[in-house]
Structures are given as C-alpha cells and as structure tokens.
Amino acid sequence: MSEEESQESIMWTEKYRPMRLDDIVNQKAAMERLKSMIKSPGNMPHLLFAGPPGTGKTTTALCIARTVLNKYWRDFTLELNASDERGINTVRDRVKTFARYADRRVEIPFRIIILDEADEMTSDAQTALRRIMETYSRGTRFILIGNYSSRIIEPIQSRCAIFRFSRLNEEDVVNYLAEICEKEAVKFDKAALPILSEAAEGDLRHAINILESASTLGEVNSENVRKTAGISGKAKVKDVVNLALEGKLNDARMQLIELTRVYGLSERDFLKYANETIVKLGLPNLGEASEVMAKYDYRLIVGAHPEIQLTALLAELGRIGRDIGFKSK
C-alpha cells in the first residue's frame, strides 16, 4: 500500500497488507530464517519464495525491501512481473537501467529486484535471467516469486535461498478476518468466518476479498458469505470442472464462456483454478488428468485459440470422468 493513498477507497487486501515481517500471519519457519538472514544484509543471498496464492509471498518481499533499504526502499526496489513483461528482453532492459541508475549519496547494501511469477517464464528465459542475475549480482539482490519452485531451473534454484510458503490454516484465517471486521466496525457472526475460511482454501487474499464483498451486503453472516463466495471465480471454475467430469459438456462450456466473457476471468486463471480443483478432488487417474492439464497449459502459452482449447479440455475431462464413473459430491 502506498502510504499516501486514501484509506477509504483502497481494497482491504491492500489496506491490510502487513508492512513488517513481524505482522505476517503464520509462515513461521520462513520468517525466522529470513529475519536472521537480513540482520547483516550484506550476506543476504538471492531469495526464492514458492507457495500457493495469497499466502504472503509478495508481501514478505516488500517487507524485506522496507527493512533492508529503510527510507530508500521505494527508489531502490524494482518490481517486475515476469509474465506481464514482454519477454526476457524487457526484463533485461529494465534491470539494466535500474542497476545503472546511481545515486552514490545513499548508503544501501544493494538494490532489490522483485520478480513475480518467475515460474511462468520459459526455461530459455530463465537461462537468460540467470545470466542477468550474475551480471548484476554485486549491487543487486533478486527475490524471485512463484507458485512452484520446481518450475524454476536448477541453476537458478542453486543460487537462491529457497523459502516455502504454505496455505494458512483456519484458525489463522478466522482470527485475521475477525480483526479486520473489528477495525472496520463491521458486524459479523462468528459462525460465518469458518465457512468463509473454507471457501478461501488457505488463500488469505481470497478470504479478505470475500469478506469485503460480504460486508457490503450489510452484515458478515453465513448467508451473505455463501452468496459472495458462490460468485467468486474460483468457486465457479470448480462447478465447471465438476460438470465436465460428469460429462455435461454443454453446460460446462456455457458456464466457461460466461466466466471468461462476463466475469472477465482469464483463460490462464481458469486453467490454474481448474488444476487446483482437480488435484483436490483426488481422482484415481490424477496422473492422466495432470498430463491433460499440462498439455492445454502449454497450448495456451504458445498462443493457441483459448476458447477452442478450453472446450477441448472440457471434452477430455469428460472422458477422464467417464473412465472412473465420476459423480460430483
């Protein structure tokens, strides 16, 4: 959150984004290691944060920048999104400009480059990234962030200290949400928060977003939470996957189109949530299902027509569901 922004209009996820490592909820093991690492920042290696969405990775990276660089953190921290930027060349150019920009009057141990969604980069791009990291490693530290550390090439992994973030448990989520309700003076029913936590599946950002929407309906009670959680993109993707596995291809496809066209869900996000759903369902033929997901993931990356591809994916899910006589619970 930018401190100058008005407190009124910003989303709760930004408003309640922790500013200090001590305020990060859970992730205890990672926090302890990190805190001791930045005590003498000169020795801090590059960092790699891996873990599910909404568990505090980006927030932690920003907290580190604030702690290590103090009041200079804004000027000497570069945040890039690897999947937004048009390829590795843009990343290289921006890193170059940033690393060159010199202000010798300030005493900082190094500049910080936060590279979000690094695991979405192709391995060629990662190889180039590795060279960039080497070229600039004297004056800069990289904090790479991604959902899966296994998608980061080995030579980069071995140059980073790796930190794993885990989904937040119900108790932590419920306590955090209750705190927000109190600060916002929003009325809430204690029984509603565990329901909300379950819907969010350990993703605190998702939980806070549901909470904020539910609060606009008046009170945060079970009914309002159900209403709001039900219309979240993630829950809808789950419905689509279930329909597809049941072989109801047309219904699944109609809902998919509504999701992407009306709700504006991106095809990549659809795939990401669909994959989460499939893993959670614990299908006996998960291996086969994962291969299918990976195939379409690749096709979308290389730019095949998304709607055609996702429809084909739904059809394949229908076959996978039929093989095991799938029935949704």
Ligand X SMILES: Nc1ncnc2c1ncn2[C@@H]1O[C@H](COP(=O)(O)OP(=O)(O)OP(=O)(O)O)[C@@H](O)[C@H]1O
Q: Tell me if 234 sits within 8 A of 246, measured CB to CB.
A: no
| Contact positions with ligand X (CB under 6 A) in 158-177 | none
Cβ distance to Mg ion smaller for residue 160 or 281:
160
Asked if residue 208 binds ligand X (CB under 6 A), the reply is yes
Q: Least distance in Å: CB of 19 to ligand X?
A: 10
Query: Can you tell me the distance from the alpha carbon of 157 to that of 324, in angstroms, rounded to the nearest whole number?
Result: 38
Stretch that binds ligand X, among 17-25, 128-136, 236-244, 252-260 (CB under 6 A): 17-25
The residue among 26 and 242 lying less far from ligand X, judged by its C-beta, is 26
* Burial of 97 from C-beta contacts in 10 A (0-12 / 13-18 / 19+): exposed
Residue 205 in the binding site for ligand X (CB under 6 A): yes
Q: How far is the CB of 24 from ligand X (least distance, A)?
A: 4
**Buried b or exposed e, range 134-153, using 16+ CB within 10 angstroms:** eebeeebbbbbbbbebeebb
Query: Is residue 232 close enough to count as binding ligand X by CB under 6 A?
Result: no
**At 37, phi and psi to the nearest 5?**
-70, -35
Residues numbered 37 to 66 that lie near ligand X (CB under 6 A) are 53-59
Q: Does 34 bind ligand X (CB under 6 A)?
A: no
Place of tokens 């500013």: 19
Of positions 21, 26, 144, 234, contacts ligand X by CB under 6 A: 26
Residue nearest to ligand X (CB): 56
Please say which residue, 167 or 227, places its beta carbon nearer to Mg ion. Answer: 167
Would you state the structure tokens that stand for residue 247, as one six-digit string? 């072989």
Q: 24 vs 144, which CB is nearer to ligand X?
A: 24
Q: How far is the CB of 13 from ligand X (least distance, A)?
A: 4
- Compute the least distance from the CB of residue 237 to Mg ion, in Å: 19
Phi, psi (degrees; rounded to nearest 5) at 112: -120, 130
| Cβ atoms 165, 193 nearer than 8 A | no
Of the CA atoms within 13 Å of residue 73, those in its CB half-sphere come to: 15
Q: Is 202 in the site for ligand X (CB under 6 A)?
A: no
Which of 18, 155, 194, 247 touches ligand X (CB under 6 A)? 18
Contact partners, residue 51, CB within 8 Å, separation at least 6: 57, 147, 164, 165, 166, 167
Nearer to ligand X, 255 or 277 (CB): 277
State which of residues 13, 77, 140, 309 lies at the interface with ligand X (CB under 6 A): 13
CA–CA dist 150, 146 (Å, integer): 10
Interface residue list for Mg ion (CB under 5 A): 58
Burial class of 197 by CB neighbour count within 10 A (0 to 12, 13 to 18, 19+) = buried
Contact 127, 164 (CB under 8 A): no
β-sheet with 111-116: strand ranges across? 77-81, 111-116, 140-146, 46-50, 160-164
Cα distance between residue 41 and residue 64, in whole Å: 10
How many residues contact ligand X, by CB under 6 A?
20
Binding of ligand X by 228 (CB under 6 A): no
Contacted entry of ligand X, Mg ion, none for residue 53, CB cut-off 5 to 8 Å set by kind? ligand X
CA angle 315/327/260 to nearest 5° reads 45
Question: Residue 25 touches which of ligand X, Mg ion, none (CB < 5 to 8 A by kind)?
Answer: ligand X
What mask, x for binding ligand X by CB under 6 A, covers residues 250 to 269? --------------------
Where along the sequence are the contacts to ligand X (CB under 6 A)?
13-14, 16-18, 24-27, 53-59, 147, 204-205, 208
